[in-house]
Amino acid sequence: MKITTEILHNGRGDQDVEVRSVNPVLMRASTILFKDYDTWQHYRDLRKTDRVLSYGARGTTTNFELEKLVCLLEGGYRAQLFPTGLASLAMVLLNYAETGAHFIVSDAIYGPVRTVCDLFLKRVGVEVDFCKADGSDVEQLIKPNTKLLLLESPGSILYEVVDLPKVSKIAHDHGIIVAIDNTYSSGYLYNPLQLGADISVIAATKYLSGHSDVTMGIVVCNEKAWKTFDKLPEALGFTTSPDDCYLVLRGMRTLAVRMAQHERNNDKVVEYLKTRPEIKTIFYPKLESHPNHDVFIRDYKGTNGMLTIEFADGYTKEDAAKFTDALKLFACGARWGGYESLATVTVPPRTASDWSDRGPFVRFHIGLEDPEDLIEDIAQALDSIKK
């Protein structure tokens, strides 16, 4: 079956009953009860390898259905849910942290992850180097003590794309675990575990939930990585609300149609933006002018709603802010992936490359509104800052 069909027909609870609801049961629980001591012991043993009810904090059947569905989407072995996307990324870093270790992290990584590196990893004696956003200098950065490579593709804000098969091979030749933030594709446009990564991280806060009302993160591991990953999050008591899992499952049923519409709308907006002299650069990996266009076309099914523009010379950050304030359909806010359009003035948080003399930049999330309305709105806002 195609993945679009799989998303609809899996993660829905026990389907082998005579009478059932379409959706899985929402099970809330802190306490799980067992008929007797032997049963209790049996389930304690089972939970070492299987997803079984044993203790509320380890998830209920609702959580398990979501884990299974995301694993299916990513072609993973097991998934672990977290309260946020950031917590997922932090836990990938913390899980491999040991004094004397060296990590390589993408220059395009979700900004707040840098705080984990600077504040915590440094303190416990883990050295971190940031590689170029497209991963092209990973080989030069590898040291004998390199344990983990954490990538993001396409990168936040500028959408640099990693040649994952190539970079993973280099890392694996040195015994390094490869993890990648797959939030852009949300398991639908791209399958990093099939292209060489060991761990894929998705902020379910974004497209999986899709309606701007849930925060959640998911770490999906291949079998090798799961053996080294599953203990710490459990020991630290991470848990996720079954209500939120239910909402993410519900969001996922429309993931394919939403992604396709975000891309169509984005394509139309990009075509319009090309005609405006106020804009110098359009950052969109589908464009042939994008530096990693070829790898993107080879490895990705398509784009999502993300788009960044750089204004022409002479435009200031104040002009960019005036532009975003003049927009009526694009709200000022972060945490994209919902149905609505967003626009914010931004600066690419990069240290392995220098963007200080570039900009101003505006990042859009192109939502599910009619693209003609979005284009009309952008047109009037650009007119308002015409020089």
Ligand X SMILES: *Cc1c(COP(=O)(O)O)cnc(C)c1O
Which residues of this protein are in contact with ligand X, per CB under 6 A?
A: 84-86, 110, 152, 156, 181, 183, 203, 205-206, 215, 217, 335
Nearer to ligand X by C-beta: 210 or 217? 217
Between residues 146 and 215, which has the closer beta carbon with respect to ligand X? Answer: 215
- Looking at the DSSP bridge assignments, the partners of residue 69 are none
Contact (Cβ atoms closer than 8 angstroms) between residue 89 and residue 201: yes
Q: Say if CB 367 and CB 265 are below 8 A apart.
A: yes
Closest of 309, 303, 339, 302 to residue 324, by C-alpha: 309
CB 305 → ligand X: shortest distance, Å? 12
Q: Given the complex with ligand X, which of 84 and 239 has the nearer CB atom?
A: 84
Tell me the three state secondary structure of residue 380.
helix
Q: How far apart are CA 57 and CA 229, in angstroms?
A: 18
Q: Which C-beta is closer to ligand X: that of 110 or that of 238?
A: 110
Q: Tally the C-alpha atoms within 13 A of residue 136's C-alpha that lie toward its C-beta.
A: 10
Least distance in angstroms from the C-beta of 19 to ligand X: 37
CB of 102 to ligand X, least distance (A): 23
Strands 361-365 and 199-203: unpaired
Nearer of residues 64 and 110 to ligand X, judged by Cβ:
110
CB 53, min distance to ligand X, A: 26
Partner residues linked to 131 by β-bridges: 106
Nearer to ligand X, 61 or 292 (CB): 292
Closer to ligand X at the Cβ: 86 or 252?
Answer: 86
Helix, strand, coil distribution of the chain in percent, nearest 5: 35, 15, 50
**CA gap 39, 52 in Å, rounded:** 12
Residue 350 carries which DSSP code?
-
Residues 6 or more apart whose Cβ sits within 8 Å of residue 320 = 311, 345, 359, 360, 361, 362
As measured in angstroms, the least distance from the Cβ of 101 to ligand X is 23
Q: Determine the Cα–Cα distance for residues 185 and 258; give it in Å rounded to an integer.
A: 12
Dihedral, CA of residue 231, residue 233, residue 239 and residue 240, to nearest 10:
-110
CB of residue 317 to ligand X, shortest distance in Å: 22
For ligand X, give the closer residue by CB, 203 or 381: 203
Answer whether 187's CB lies under 8 Å from 70's CB. Answer: yes
**Min dist. Cβ of residue 130 to ligand X (A):** 16
Q: How far is the CB of 143 from ligand X (least distance, A)?
A: 26
Closest residue to ligand X, based on beta-carbon distance: 85
196: left (phi over 0), alpha (psi -120 to 50) or beta: left
